[in-house]
């Protein structure tokens, strides 16, 4: 059984990822930890509680970071992508429950201390909660089984940034936190735009989920209208990239991806703020910025068709 902490700024594609985790066999969600990002911390925490109650997800919700550790690119929240409430402005009733009293960073520390080496963190928002957990527990890299991050853009497969020519939203939203996390030696896999933009959910694919995956499919269809409309305004196509569910797909079946190992640093100021840059050792470089930084795994390729099949197959398990 894979034990998972889901660190999320729920968010339309975050909601898609959470249902993927929830219906995956052999996954136990130990915690849903929230952060600011696609919407305010109030909205993302509310969305987490709503999904927990709506889909009977047996995991506590911990409220996390309300803002970045350092400078970030841009201000406010991307309501033009995820809606004012983060879930495409569908009606989200007030949840009956409340988040746990512990904050997200402390919950991460407590859970991995309880089960050292056994817990995966799937982080699909800003890296702020994980960076704060590292401050609380410097041994965190040795305690976490693996960290799988949706974030970054390295230029593989021709994909560049989505909030600047070089920066991806999760990383640009707290570049300092991402730099701390990617440099700390935690076993980390980065699932960036290089692969998430390669896997596209068409309108027909999402219609199929609505028709065949019961309440989960209907919910995903409803929240995704806003997301697809945003994409249509940007690219002319009524479809969406598969961002956060790709991080879950890596957890469930890493063989769907090609990867390379490399030290990764994040630019934390200036016009390239939020850029993720990998480096191989090179004795001729004048810079020492990547020297002695433990390697992360970067996803460079993906079997998109198999990933979409895995997603649909898992959601359909909701019907059993």
Structure tokens at 64: 């996390």
Per DSSP (E only), the strands in the chain are 2-8, 27-34, 61-62, 119-123, 146-150, 188-191, 200-202, 239-241, 257-266, 276-279, 296-302
Cα distances (Å, whole numbers) of residue 282 to 118, 155, 292: 35, 20, 12
Neighbours of 75 (CB within 10 A): 5
239 binds ligand BDR (CB under 6 A): no
88 binds Ca ion (CB under 5 A): no
Give catalytic status of residue 9 as yes or no: yes
169 binds ligand BDR (CB under 6 A): yes
Q: Identify which of residues 11 and 88 has a Cβ nearer to ligand BDR in the complex.
A: 11
> Which of 34, 38, 120, 188 touches ligand BDR (CB under 6 A)?
38
173 binds Ca ion (CB under 5 A): no
Residue 168 binding: pick among ligand BDR, Ca ion, none (C-beta 5-8 Å cut-off by kind):
ligand BDR
Residue list 91-110, contact with ligand BDR (CB under 6 A)? none
Neighbours of 71 (CB within 10 A): 14
DSSP for 165-217, written as a single string: SSB-HHHHTSHHHHHHHHHS---EEEE-HHHHTTSEEEHHHHHHHHHHSHHHH
- Do residues 31 and 5 touch, judged by C-beta distance below 8 A? yes
Residue 169 binding: pick among ligand BDR, Ca ion, none (C-beta 5-8 Å cut-off by kind):
ligand BDR
The catalytic residue among 22, 50, 221, 243 is 243
Q: Identify which of residues 44 and 103 has a Cβ nearer to ligand BDR in the complex.
A: 44
11 binds ligand BDR (CB under 6 A): yes
150 binds ligand BDR (CB under 6 A): yes
Q: Which residues bind ligand BDR (CB under 6 A)?
A: 11, 13-14, 38, 81, 124, 150, 162, 168-170, 243-244
Q: Which residues are catalytic?
A: 9, 243
């Amino acid at each position: 059984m894979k034990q998972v902490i889901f660190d999320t700024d729920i968010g339309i594609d975050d909601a898609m990822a959470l249902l993927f985790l929830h219906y995956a066999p052999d996954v136990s969600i130990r915690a849903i930890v929230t952060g600011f990002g696609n919407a305010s911390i109030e909205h993302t925490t509310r969305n987490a509680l709503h999904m927990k109650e709506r889909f009977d997800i047996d995991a506590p919700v911990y409220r996390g970071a309300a803002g970045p550790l350092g400078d970030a690119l841009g201000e406010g929240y991307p309501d033009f992508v995820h809606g004012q409430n983060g879930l495409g402005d569908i009606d989200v009733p007030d949840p009956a429950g409340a988040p746990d009293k512990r904050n997200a960073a402390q919950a991460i520390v407590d859970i991995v201390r309880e089960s050292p080496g056994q817990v995966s963190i799937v982080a699909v928002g800003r890296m702020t909660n994980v960076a704060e957990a590292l401050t609380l527990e410097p041994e965190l890299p040795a305690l976490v089984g693996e960290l799988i991050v949706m974030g970054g853009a390295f230029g593989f497969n021709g994909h560049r940034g989505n909030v600047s020519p070089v920066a991806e939203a999760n990383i640009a939203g707290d570049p300092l936190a991402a730099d701390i996390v990617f440099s700390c030696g935690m076993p980390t896999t980065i699932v960036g735009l290089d692969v998430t933009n390669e896997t596209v959910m068409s309108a027909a694919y999402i219609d199929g989920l609505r028709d065949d995956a019961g309440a989960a499919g209907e919910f995903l269809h409803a929240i995704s209208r806003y997301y697809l409309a945003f994409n249509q305004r940007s690219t002319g196509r009524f479809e969406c990239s598969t961002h956060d569910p790709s991080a879950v797909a890596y957890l469930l079946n890493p063989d769907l991806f090609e990867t390379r190992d490399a030290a990764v640093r994040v630019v934390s100021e200036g016009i390239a703020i939020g850029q993720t840059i990998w480096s191989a050792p090179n004795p001729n470089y004048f810079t020492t910025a990547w020297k002695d930084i433990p390697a992360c795994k970067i996803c460079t390729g993906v079997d998109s068709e198999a990933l979409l099949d895995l997603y649909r197959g898992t959601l359909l398990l909701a019907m059993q």
